[in-house]
C-alpha cells in the first residue's frame, strides 16, 4: 500500500514491456479474501514484509496461521508460496508457522530454507540487508491439499 512503490512498479513494468500485471493499492488480506478466486494462483510471492521486530508487535506479522489457511485455497494444487526476509527472527517465525500449516509441504531438501532462486529479483531491501550484514532467507512451500 506504499503509493510511491506502486508508481515505481508501474514504471518498471512499462519500461520492461510487461502487460500482464495487476496492482492493487489495497490491503493484501482483503484483496485475497474478496477478489481472488479459489485455485487461481500458481505462485504467491511475499518478499520482505514488515518484520514487526518488537515482540509485542509480532501478532501484526502477515505470516500467521489464519492468513496461511485463508491463502491455501487460493493457490492451485501444487501452487507455491514463496517468502523472503532479511530478519532471521521473522524467517524462523515463517518456518514455524508454515511447518505447522495444514496442506503445505516445504520444498527445501533440508526442511528449512532454500537458496535464493534466480527468478527472485534482488530488491533494495536485500541489498540493504547485505550492506548491514543481515542474512536473507527464502522459504518456498507447496500446496499439497
Catalytic residue among 27, 38, 42, 50: 50
The closest of 113, 142, 121 to 42, measured between CA atoms, is 142
CB 116 within 8 A of CB 79: no
Write the CA distances from 41 to 110, 111, 137, 141, integer angstroms. Answer: 26, 24, 23, 14
Q: Is 108 exposed, middle or buried (0-12, 13-18, 19+ CB in 10 A)?
A: middle
Complete edge-to-edge strand list for the sheet that includes strand 137-143: 41-47, 75-85, 137-143, 104-106
Q: Which of 95, 137, 125, 130 is nearest to 2 (CA)?
A: 125
- The question of whether 50 is a catalytic residue gets the answer yes
Cite the active site residues. 50
Amino acid at each position: 500500500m506504499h503509493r510511491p512503490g506502486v508508481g515505481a512498479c508501474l514504471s518498471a513494468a512499462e519500461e520492461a514491456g510487461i502487460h500482464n500485471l495487476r496492482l492493487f493499492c489495497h490491503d493484501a488480506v482483503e484483496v485475497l479474501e474478496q477478489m481472488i478466486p479459489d485455485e487461481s494462483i500458481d505462485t504467491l510471492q511475499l518478499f520482505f514484509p514488515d518484520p514487526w521486530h518488537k515482540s509485542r508487535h509480532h501478532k501484526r506479522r502477515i505470516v500467521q496461521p489464519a492468513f496461511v489457511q485463508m491463502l491455501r485455497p487460493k493457490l492451485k494444487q501444487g501452487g507455491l508460496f514463496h517468502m523472503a526476509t532479511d530478519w532471521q527472527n521473522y524467517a524462523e517465525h515463517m518456518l514455524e508457522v508454515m511447518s505447522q500449516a495444514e496442506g503445505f509441504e516445504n520444498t527445501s531438501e533440508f526442511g528449512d530454507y532454500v537458496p535464493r532462486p534466480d527468478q527472485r529479483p534482488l530488491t533494495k531491501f536485500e541489498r540493504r540487508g547485505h550492506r548491514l550484514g543481515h542474512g536473507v532467507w527464502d522459504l518456498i512451500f507447496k500446496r499439497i491439499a
